[in-house]
C-alpha cells in the first residue's frame, strides 16, 4: 500500500473535522462522479442519499493518494455498497454508467440549468420543468412565470454571476469593503471567509465578515456600509437581513444554512481599475469594463466572531461534521453563534477558532485543510 494509510496504522475518521482535506484531490475522477450523483439526489429530494454521496466524496478528497483498485476502499468510512459499485465501474470502464445516464437525462440537465440562476432552488426549478419549460429564454418570455426580486437579478446578471470569481477579484472586492468600513469605523475589521479563505482559486461568490470591538454597533455598521456602497453607485442588488440573534438560545441541533446575525447578500459592480493587474475574468469581447460579483457580508457581535468565522469558512461538509462530532462525540451543541456543553449546562466562550477546536478536543485544522 503506497501512499494510502493502511487500516492498521491509521484509520480515516468518519468525521471531516478529524481529517485534513486540502485542495489537491488525487481522486477527482471518483469525487466528481459522486458529486453528480449527490446533486441528482438533491434534485429528487432524496436528502439522505445525497448526503451519503457527499460523505463518500469527502472521504476520498482527504486521501493522500489516488485509489489504485477497489480493494483500496476497504476500511474507509462512509463508502457503502452503492458508492463502491460506482468506484468499481470507473476502474473497469473508466467511467460510471450510472453517472452518464444522469448527465444525459433531460430533467437533470434542465434542473441544473434552472438552479444555476441566483435565487432559483430545486423546488422552483422543478415547478418550471413540470410546466414544460426547458430553457432560460422560455422562462423569461413566459408571461405566467412570476420571478421574485432575487430571481430577476439572477436573470439580469446571469452571464456574470455564473462566471467564477477569481482570487484577484475576491481581494479587489475586499479592498472596496475595507475602504468603506475604514471611512466609518476605523476600529472595525473586515475578514475574508468562505471558499477563498480555504485557498480556492475561484469561487461562486465572495464572503467577508465585518465586526466592531464595540458590541452592539455591528448591525449599524453593516447598514452604513450598504448605504455607502449604494451611494457609490456600485450596488446592483441588495438583500439585507437584520439580526434575529438571541444570546440565550441554544445552538441549533440541525445543520441549517441560515444563521441569525445581521447579513446581506449583494451583487456589486467590480470595475477593472479595482483589480491589481487590471484584468477582469470577463469575455475578452466585453467592453463594459466591469463585471457583476456576488458578495455576502455578515456582521456578528465581537464575542461571536470566532463562531461566525468558523461557520462561514466552510466547507459545508466540514461544518456538518463539526456539528455532528460535537453532538455525538462530545455531548455539545455547535452552530455559527455558540458552543454549548450539555453536561455542564454552559456556553463555552471562544475568542479564536483554536479555542473552539480546543473545547471540542479536536486537533486544530487550518482553513486550507477544511476543503472536505
Ligand atoms: P464558493 O466558492 O462556491 O462560494 P463557499 O464555501 O464559499 O464556496 P458559500 O455558499 O459562499 O460557499 O458559503 C460559505 C460558508 O458559509 C458555508 O460553509 C455555509 O455553510 C456558510 N453560509 C452560507 N450562507 C449562510 C447563511 N445564510 N447563514 C449561515 N451560514 C451560511
Ligand atoms: Mn463563498
Ligand atoms: Mn456565500
pLDDT at 8: 47
| pLDDT of the residue at 156 | 98
Look up 296 and say whether it is catalytic.
Answer: yes
Based on the domain organization, do 291 and 314 belong to the same domain? no
Do 71 and 182 lie in a common domain? no
| Nearest CA among 100, 101, 140 for reference residue 120 | 140
Distances (CA, A) of 41 to 46, 115, 135, 255: 5, 14, 22, 18
Check if 321 has its Cβ closer than 6 Å to any atom of ligand 1.
no
The 8-class DSSP code of residue 13 comes to P
In the numeric block, which cell numbers belong to residue 50? 445525497
CATH code of the domain containing 298 = 3.30.460.10
Question: Are 145 and 187 part of one and the same domain?
Answer: no
Determine whether the shortest distance from the Cβ of 367 to ligand 1 is under 6 A.
no
Residues 122 and 83 grouped into a single domain: no
Q: What is the Cα–Cα distance from 207 to 316, expressed in whole angstroms?
A: 14
Give the residue, out of 118, 119, 194, with the most ligand 1 atoms within 8 A of its beta carbon, to mutate for a pocket test.
194
Q: How many CA atoms lie within 13 A of 126 on its CB side?
A: 8
Indicate if ligand 1 lies below 6 Å from the C-beta of 169. Answer: no
Catalytic residue among 42, 160, 205, 259: 205
DSSP 3-state of 270? strand
| DSSP letters spanning 62-88 | T-SS---SGGGGTT-TT--HHHHHHHH
Shortest-distance Cα residue to atom 6 of ligand 1: 195
- For residue 77, give Cα distances in angstroms to 55, 65, 74, 108, 145: 9, 16, 9, 29, 45
Residue 118 belongs to domain spanning = 106-156
**pLDDT at residue 4, as a whole number:** 56
Ligand 1 and 259: CB distance under 6 A: yes
Is residue 349 assigned to a domain? yes
Task: Give the pLDDT confidence of 180-198 residue by residue, as tens digits.
Answer: 999 999 999 999 999 999 9
Same domain for 238 and 297? yes
For ligand 2, a single-atom ion, the residues with CB < 5 A are 194-195, 203, 205, 207
* CA separation for the pair 15, 225 (Å, rounded): 38
- The tally of domains found in the chain comes to 4
Q: Do 114 and 98 share a domain, yes or no? A: no
Are residues 121 and 95 located together in one domain of the fold?
no
CA of 196 to the centre of ligand 2 (A): 7
Most informative mutation of 167, 207, 367 for ligand 1 (most atoms within 8 A of CB): 207
> Tell me, what's the ipTM?
0.96
124 & 88 share domain: no
**What is the domain-level CATH number for residue 328?**
3.30.210.10
Residue 70 falls within a domain, yes or no? yes
- Name the domain boundary from 77, 102, 127: 102
Q: Is there a single domain that holds both residue 169 and residue 248?
A: yes
Q: Does 10 reside within a domain?
A: no
Annotated catalytic residue 286 = no
| Helix H or strand E segment including 206 | strand 206-211
Q: Which of 105, 227, 296, 355 is catalytic?
A: 296
User: 219-274 pLDDT, tens per residue?
Assistant: 999 999 999 999 999 999 999 999 999 999 999 877 776 899 999 999 999 999 99
Q: Which of 303, 336, 355 is the last residue of a domain?
A: 303
Q: Which residues of the chain have pLDDT under 50?
A: 1-2, 6-8
Indicate if 42 belongs to the active site.
Answer: no
Residues 39 and 132 in one domain: no
Domain end position, chosen among 255, 285, 303: 303
| Least distant ligand from the CA of 314 | 1
CATH number at residue 137: 1.10.150.20
Residue 66, domain member (yes or no): yes
Domain identity same for 144 and 189? no
Amino acid at each position: 500500500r503506497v501512499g494510502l494509510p493502511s487500516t492498521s496504522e491509521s484509520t480515516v475518521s468518519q468525521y471531516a473535522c478529524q481529517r485534513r482535506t486540502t485542495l489537491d484531490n488525487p481522486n477527482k475522477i471518483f469525487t466528481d462522479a459522486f458529486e453528480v450523483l449527490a446533486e441528482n439526489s438533491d434534485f429528487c429530494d432524496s436528502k439522505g442519499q445525497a448526503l451519503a454521496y457527499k460523505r463518500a466524496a469527502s472521504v476520498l478528497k482527504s486521501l493522500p493518494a489516488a485509489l489504485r483498485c477497489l480493494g483500496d476502499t476497504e476500511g474507509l468510512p462512509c463508502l457503502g455498497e452503492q458508492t463502491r459499485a460506482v468506484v468499481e465501474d470507473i476502474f473497469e470502464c473508466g467511467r460510471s454508467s450510472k453517472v452518464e445516464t444522469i448527465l444525459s437525462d433531460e430533467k437533470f440537465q434542465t434542473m441544473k440549468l434552472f438552479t444555476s440562476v441566483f435565487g432559483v432552488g430545486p423546488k422552483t426549478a422543478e415547478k418550471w420543468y413540470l410546466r414544460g419549460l426547458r430553457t432560460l429564454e422560455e422562462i423569461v418570455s413566459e408571461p405566467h412565470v412570476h420571478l421574485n426580486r432575487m430571481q430577476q437579478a439572477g436573470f439580469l446578471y446571469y452571464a456574470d454571476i455564473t462566471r467564477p470569481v477569481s482570487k484577484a477579484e475576491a481581494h479587489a472586492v475586499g479592498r472596496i469593503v475595507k475602504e468603506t468600513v475604514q471611512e466609518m469605523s476605523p476600529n472595525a475589521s473586515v475578514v475574508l471567509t468562505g471558499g477563498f479563505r480555504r485557498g480556492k482559486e475561484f469561487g461562486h461568490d465572495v464572503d467577508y465578515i465585518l465586526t466592531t470591538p464595540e458590541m452592539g454597533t455591528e448591525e449599524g455598521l453593516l447598514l452604513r456600509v450598504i448605504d455607502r456602497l449604494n451611494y457609490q453607485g456600485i450596488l446592483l442588488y441588495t438583500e439585507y437581513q437584520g439580526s434575529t440573534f438571541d444570546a440565550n438560545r441554544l445552538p441549533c441541533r440541525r445543520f441549517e444554512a441560515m444563521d441569525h446575525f445581521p447579513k446581506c447578500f449583494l451583487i456589486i459592480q467590480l470595475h477593472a481599475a479595482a483589480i491589481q493587474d487590471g484584468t477582469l475574468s470577463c469575455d475578452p469581447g466585453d467592453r463594459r469594463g466591469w463585471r457583476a460579483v456576488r458578495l455576502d457580508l455578515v456582521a456578528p457581535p465581537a464575542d461571536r466572531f470566532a463562531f461566525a468565522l468558523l461557520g462561514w469558512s466552510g466547507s459545508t461538509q466540514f461544518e456538518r461534521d463539526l456539528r455532528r462530532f460535537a453532538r455525538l462525540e462530545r455531548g455539545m451543541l455547535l452552530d455559527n453563534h455558540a458552543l454549548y456543553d450539555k453536561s455542564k449546562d454552559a456556553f463555552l466562550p471562544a475568542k479564536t477558532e483554536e479555542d473552539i477546536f480546543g473545547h471540542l478536543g479536536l486537533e486544530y485544522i487550518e482553513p486550507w485543510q477544511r476543503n472536505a
